Amino acid sequence: MKFIDLDKTESFAALQALFPVELRTILNEQRIRSSQIPLGGDLIYNYSAMPVEEEHLKVLCDLAEEQEVIEKYKELLSGQVMNPGENRLVLHQLTRKNALKDNIVIADSTDKEAFYSQQLEKVYEFASKVREKKIVGSTGKPFTTVVQIGIGGSDLGPRAMYLAMEGWAQGEGIETIDARFISNVDPDDAKQVLQDADIESTLFILVSKSGTTQETLTNFELVKKTMEEKRIAGFDSSRHLVAVTSNTSPLASSDDVMDAFYIDDYIGGRYSSTSAVGALVLSLAFGKEVVSQFLEGAHEADIRALETDPLKNGALLDALIGVYLRNVLNMPTTAILPYSQALSRFPAHLQQLDMESNGKSVNREGKSIHYPTGPIIFGEPGTNGQHSFYQLLHQGTDSIPLQFIGFKENQRKYDIETEGSTSQDKLLANLIAQIVAFALGKEDENGNKRFSGNRFSSLIYGSRLTPKNLGALLAHYENKVMFQGFIWNINSFDQEGVQLGKVLAKKVLSGAQGDTILRSFMKILL
């Protein structure tokens, strides 16, 4: 297995030599219909409005082969060390079953897939007992609210997944438990969640792999203090607290929690939504069957990502086109634009997933690289974004690649018809109009009304945002980020960039220890 910097490959030089594409000359019905790849569930990736033709696709396929991306994916799935910075395996796909059939991954003398499966079954059993009111609060009240306390990957992914499934569950008439999230160490965040909560019927999930995360433990203490201040007769806080942590952390054996569910160092926080980190809160909120469908969709996308032909592998082609945009067309930003209110927090999750994974300036050996890597990610649901930053997207001086996400049906099975069309029809009409407007633009003698067009976009769409489609969507992006990391020859699975600030924050809290710059800022803020 060879690891080569992108600018050392023959394929990249060939890619740089290709001509730019003018969408007005190539976008037509046949291209729109043929530029499609299934992703998992019933999701489809459509790249017809991206600046690639047969010549580009051939060279991109050559690049994928030269960088051995599928072989590296198989190595990752088989349990090889793919996080060299921390000398760790990368096993988040195992939390939804190994995509390599009959493959067993052994680490720490443990069958890791069996370990994750056991933890998932433990999650399902606990959640079922809570939902069936066999496990209740310390004063006898059933749990009607669950609050997850965590930060980063312990919050962004699970929160985005919960919001994405909430409307579907209501549309299907599924009995739900309300889920809320506390992440920011800012006490106003916790206070807002707790101020109207019935503590007697609230279950708290404390998520910290190490059991030492400063922000999370601070919020944990704030929650315990809130419980104590209620002075409820017979109330026992430990019967309202569970932990998701490693089996070696202080929380694993703490008397403060009634049960613990385990993860390990082979699951990165931003990749943990399909582990106990996400599965517990989602199983409590929606039930085992819903989470099983979610994991099934992710597993299906993982299997599809093994396809060696990039023109049949949506995650890989999405990654390759992204490399072309970033490294040849020099576009540093990508907008994720879901035309689904249920995905309101999905762009925030993708910010962490992509930017924490591929925001690197050294290769896998720690040596400096001399080409751009991960793009800046931002986004907002349509049609809200149209009345916000789309002005810059259409007529600004920077051309920003776009990825739209849309669904033919809404989640809640509720709609109205006005002026001959439903609200969902209007939503999709806006989505279609934006793709075409960005691609083709508009000529006008008045410069203020002129749209240059040739602004590139892709589309991921499906019938409805179901749990299975959500799982496939999540895994698509996880695998896209992974493939881009392989192509750039960087480590997508460590995050040293988050550590320095943590170290300095502890130094500030201990008095700055003679650091005059820190003390200067302390004088104006603390």
Query: What interhelical angle do 156-171 and 346-358 show, nearest 10?
Result: 150
Active-site choice (300, 356, 380, 478)? 356
Does residue 118 carry a pLDDT above 90? yes
Query: What interhelical angle do 156-171 and 276-286 show, nearest 10?
Result: 20
For residue 62, which of 125, 103, 12 has the smallest C-alpha distance?
12
Active-site choice (312, 442, 502, 506)? 502
Structure tokens belonging to residue 280: 């517990």
Structure tokens belonging to residue 83: 């996080």
Query: Is 502 part of the annotated catalytic residue set?
Result: yes
| pLDDT of the residue at 368 | 98
Q: Which residues pair with 338 in a beta bridge?
A: 405
Does residue 513 carry a pLDDT above 90? no
Homologous superfamily, domain 6-94+305-494 = Glucose-6-phosphate isomerase like protein; domain 1 (3.40.50.10490)
| pLDDT of the residue at 498 | 86
Does residue 526 carry a pLDDT above 90? no
CA 117, 286, 259, 499 dihedral sign is positive
In sequence order, the 6+-apart residues with CB closer than 8 A to the CB of 161 are 273, 278, 282, 294, 470, 474
What's the chain's average pLDDT? 96
pLDDT, tens digit, for every residue of 311-353?
999 999 999 999 999 999 999 999 999 999 999 999 999 999 9
pLDDT, tens digit, for every residue of 175-218?
999 999 999 999 999 999 999 899 999 999 999 998 888 999 99
Domain boundaries, the chain: 6-94+305-494, 100-287, 496-526
Give me the mean pLDDT over the 397-413 stretch: 97
Does residue 477 carry a pLDDT above 90? yes
pLDDT, tens digit, for every residue of 1-51?
899 999 999 999 999 999 989 999 999 999 999 999 999 999 999 999 999
pTM of the model as a whole: 0.97
Does residue 230 carry a pLDDT above 90? no
Structure tokens belonging to residue 226: 């809130």
Query: Residue 502 — very low, low, confident or very high, per pLDDT cuts 50/70/90?
Result: confident
Homologous superfamily, domain 100-287 = Glucose-6-phosphate isomerase like protein; domain 1 (3.40.50.10490)
Active-site choice (230, 387, 408, 449)? 387
Indicate if 100-287 has the same CATH topology as 6-94+305-494.
yes
| pLDDT of the residue at 129 | 98
Q: Which residue has the tokens 């023109």?
A: 311
Query: Residue 79 — very low, low, confident or very high, per pLDDT cuts 50/70/90?
Result: very high
